[in-house]
Amino acid sequence: MLSEKLLNHLNAQVNFEIYSSYAYLSMAAYCESLDLSGFANFFKVQCQEELFHAMKFYDYIFQKNGVVVLEQIEKPNSNFENISDVFETGYEHEQLVTSRLYRIADIATEEKEHATISLLNWFINEQVEEENTFNTILKKIKRAENNPAALYMLDDELGARVYVAPTTTNA
Ligand SMILES: [Fe+2]
Ligand SMILES: [Fe+2]
């Protein structure tokens, strides 16, 4: 049984992961509009990953006898200055996600809610990779600035990304 406080935070996170998915789809659409289909592919995969995250919290809430409540999802940003702005926004977003997860983990720790701590550890480990992915691509984009050939090579590289649903059901 989850406390009301923890349940509220987990519910908010279901909604926030759906918002993340929506924000990345908006970034995919922006890349598509620039004919950068590889970058768009990267964000479409990212969009699927975030939906998987939302469902992982969703399933957990019901497993713990709680009820998921869906809220209105905020309109995502669609005005970007350039491709580097998109990745800066994404990188900042992932850092915000990490800080939200830390906050929920703090509450779960205060309440000695070990199953929730275990679930959050999966997400917190995942965030190390998420932040690093965005930061690494951002650095590559900055190096490719004023060099269209390098940017298109990066577009090709990101076009090869394929969504793979995590097999772990650790929760
Ligand atoms: Fe996520
Ligand atoms: Fe993420």
Q: How far is the CA of 144 from the centre of ligand 1 (A)?
A: 28
At 168 the pLDDT is 58
Q: Is the model's pLDDT at 170 over the cut of 50?
A: no
Q: Over the range 30-42, which residues count as b (16 or more CB within 10 Å of their CB) and which as e?
A: bbeeeebbbbbbb
> For residues 140 and 91, is the Cβ–Cβ distance under 8 A?
no
Instruction: Please report, for the domain that includes residue 128, its CATH number.
Output: 1.20.1260.10
pLDDT digits (tens, 9 = 90+) for 9-52: 999 999 999 999 999 999 999 999 999 999 999 999 999 999 99
Mean per-residue pLDDT of the chain? 96
Tokens of 33: 């509009």
Average pLDDT of the segment spanning 142-151? 93
Q: How far is the CA of 50 from the centre of ligand 1 (A)?
A: 5
CA distance 44 to 28: 6
Please report which confidence band the pLDDT of residue 167 belongs to, taking 50, 70 and 90 as the band edges: confident
For residue 37, being part of any structural domain is answered with yes
- Contacts of residue 32, defined as CB under 8 A and 6 or more positions apart, other chains included, come to 40
Q: What is the largest CA-CA distance in the chain?
A: 56
Q: How far is the CA of 49 from the centre of ligand 1 (A)?
A: 7
For residue 63, being part of any structural domain is answered with yes
Domain total in the chain: 1
For residue 92, being part of any structural domain is answered with yes
pLDDT digits (tens, 9 = 90+) for 103-146: 999 999 999 999 999 999 999 999 999 999 999 999 999 999 88
Write out the residue range of the structural domain in which residue 128 sits.
Answer: 4-159
For residue 78, being part of any structural domain is answered with yes
Task: Look at the alpha carbons of 10, 11, 14, 20 in this order and tell me if their dihedral is positive or negative.
Answer: negative
Question: Of the bound ligands, which one is closest to the alpha carbon of residue 24?
Answer: 2
CA distance 117 to 110: 10
For residue 18, being part of any structural domain is answered with yes
For residue 171, being part of any structural domain is answered with no
